[in-house]
Structure 1
Amino acid sequence: MPDNENTGKLVRTADVVAFAEMDGTRHVLLVTRGQSPFKGRLALPGGRVERGESSRAAAARELAEETGIVVPADALQFLGTWDTPGRDPRGNYSSDAYTVELTDMPRPKPGSDAAAATWVPLPAAHRTLLASDHNDMVSAADSGH
């Protein structure tokens, strides 16, 4: 699907804030973006909602594609919609964010457009400038804990 910067059409995306605990510290799963925009920056796993797909299904699919971690779509809890104009330099993007608490910390395997995938201790993630408005998503998910 081409970027929409010249068409003005709304592009729907879905992101996942996945948490797991190790040694008493909560971690959040982040990917290193392999493509523009925000290439090289840490971000939440996520991407575009395909035609005929719900945002929840897209979130589960993108999590699996970008990190190799598979969770059922119905395990994802809706967190909110982020749709502030200008949140994505490609155009008019709206993202539904979901959260999931994993009972273990599976080793991520980067794929799709993710250059890397890793578990980051939550305090460090809060101090890191993530892509787009992903810091807001992580904060919203963490405050609901």
Structure 2
Amino acid sequence: MTMADQPENIRYTADVVAVTNDGRVLLIKRGWDPYEGHWALPGGHVDRGETGLRAAVRELEEETSVRVTEDELRLVGIWDQPDRDPRGRYVTVTYLATVPADTQATAGDDARDARWWPLTDLPERLAFDHADILAAVLRLPAS
């Protein structure tokens, strides 16, 4: 059996694209490597026994203090490019949450900062492939 025939160790993560109804998106500043100091979508590892949807709700609240329910999340897609994370193979399921314009966010857990950014004026360099994820969200039809 060659290396290509062997199963790969894959880590499962969930990310949330939280947007306000006035066109802003919530990003966190990463406080750890890889991409320490870069802006990223809130998200993280799916814990043992947890669904991706439940992990998305938990990670959003832990990193930004923004609370949503599972029913408020809409599946955006799955990102599984082999080189999307320098730590190894990561597959992320991404959800969209639309929240009121006055929603407050506070950095928590391992986020240095949490801030609402205009979708038309995002930071220059986002962590991982989060610019691609945001571009996909902007192409979604309104629901």
- Determine the structure 1 residue equivalent to 2:68: 71
What is the RMSD computed on CA atoms of the aligned residues? 1.4
- CA distance in 1 between partners of 2:31 and 2:104 (Å): 19
- Determine the structure 2 residue equivalent to 1:53: 50
Where 2:55 maps in the other structure, the secondary structure is: helix
The aligned amino acid for 2:79 is W
Whether the 8 Å contact between 1:13 and 1:95 is mirrored in structure 2 is yes
- Determine the structure 2 residue equivalent to 1:5: none
Whether the 8 Å contact between 1:77 and 1:99 is mirrored in structure 2 is yes
Note the alpha carbon deviations across 1:19-61, whole angstroms, 9 max, x for none: 1034xxx100000001111100000000000000000110110
Whether the 8 Å contact between 1:31 and 1:44 is mirrored in structure 2 is yes
Q: How many residue pairs align between the two structures?
A: 135
Give aligned-pair identity as a percent.
Answer: 43
Summarize the Cα distance change of 1:21–1:75 in structure 2 as closer, same or farther, 3 Å threshold: closer
- Determine the structure 1 residue equivalent to 2:35: 38
What displacement does 1:105 show? 3.0
- CA distance in 1 between partners of 2:70 and 2:62 (Å): 14
- Could you say which structure has the larger radius of gyration? 2
- Match for 1:94 among 91, 96, 112? 91
The aligned amino acid for 2:86 is P
Using the size of structure 2 for normalisation, the TM-score is 0.90
Note the alpha carbon deviations across 1:65-104, whole angstroms, 9 max, x for none: 0000000022110000001011001101000000011123
Structure 2: runs of 5+ lacking an equivalent: 1-7
The aligned amino acid for 1:128 is E
What displacement does 1:116 show? 0.3
The aligned amino acid for 2:124 is T
Using the size of structure 1 for normalisation, the TM-score is 0.88
Q: Where do residues 9-48 of structure 1 align in structure 2 (5 Å cutoff)?
A: 9-22=9-22, 26-48=23-45
The aligned amino acid for 1:137 is I
The runs of 4+ residues in structure 1 deviating greater than 2 Å are none
